Amino acid sequence: MTEDSGIWLYAVTRREGAGAAGELPGVAGEVLRTVEAGRLAAVVGDVPLETFGEEALHRNLEDLDWLGAVARAHDAVVGALAGAGPVVPVRLATVYRDEHGVRRVLEHRGHELARTLDRVAGRTEWGVKVFAGEPPPGREETPSRRGAGTAYLARRRAERDARAESERLAREQAAKVHSRLAALAAGARLHPLQSKALSGDDRQMVLNAAYLVGDDDARAFAEAVAACDDESPAIRVQLTGPWPPYSFSSLEET
């Protein structure tokens, strides 16, 4: 490490699992290493501050291609560690000036980190998004009963009312889905709903949640999600995962 470099923090894990990322390159193509304290190890990499310093990051994070490549490299390291044992993932773009700052986190928050690692051991995160189904078609107005303009306005009003009712029913069903899935999980977390542009789906999102599920319970959980999707035409249910437990073990929340 030089004066022109910082330390990018990927995750915290137990010392015995810190080598699981193997020969994976870091976000700057750097060789990964560890900073250790007690039984804990932080997996880190040395990165140039001209690219990963505070000002440079503010600029580079606006470049979606750059951000995508960095996020994939970061997630690959976290995923490899999570595949070998419990891990506390660290938020993207967490850079320390030196090893002392990283070691201080391990020492001052060691008990909390150890408890979090115990909690997520043998468990992974599954994401569930629920979208409103297609609203039923509105009743057509016939030209013989009304003028064309009046019929058009009535049709638009009927479509709007049908869409509002569809979303109301979807939110009601989504609450039931969340309650059902949360009962099967060791933890549940609600996230903000995503816009259509962000979700990549033309339907209205009514639930965006994450669930911490035991590896032995994953099949039953997936079957429960599929059943939720089949049982109500008011919603469409989307399952993703398994993922490292970002929603349940981030360094900021320990």
Element (H, E) at 55: helix 54-60
The answer on pLDDT for 140 being more than 90 is no
The answer on pLDDT for 159 being more than 90 is no
Three-class SS state of 244:
coil
8-state DSSP, 141: P
- Summarised one tens digit per residue, pLDDT across range 119-133 is 999 999 999 999 987
Do residues 104 and 41 lie in contact, with contact meaning Cβ atoms separated by under 8 Å? Answer: no
- Summarised one tens digit per residue, pLDDT across range 176-209 is 999 999 999 999 999 999 988 888 888 889 999 9
Looking at the DSSP assignment, which residues form a beta bridge with residue 87? 13
pLDDT average, residue stretch 133-147: 58
* Domains observed in the chain: 5-121 (no CATH), 123-252 (3.30.70)
Q: Whole-model pTM?
A: 0.81
The answer on pLDDT for 93 being more than 70 is yes
What is the Cβ-side half-sphere exposure of residue 80, based on CA atoms within 13 angstroms?
17
Distance CA 244, CA 125 (A): 6
Do residues 95 and 50 lie in contact, with contact meaning Cβ atoms separated by under 8 Å? Answer: no
C-alpha 34: how far from its chain's center? 25
8-state DSSP, 61: T
Which residues in 78-91 are b (16+ Cβ under 10 Å) and which e?
bbbbbebbbbbbbe
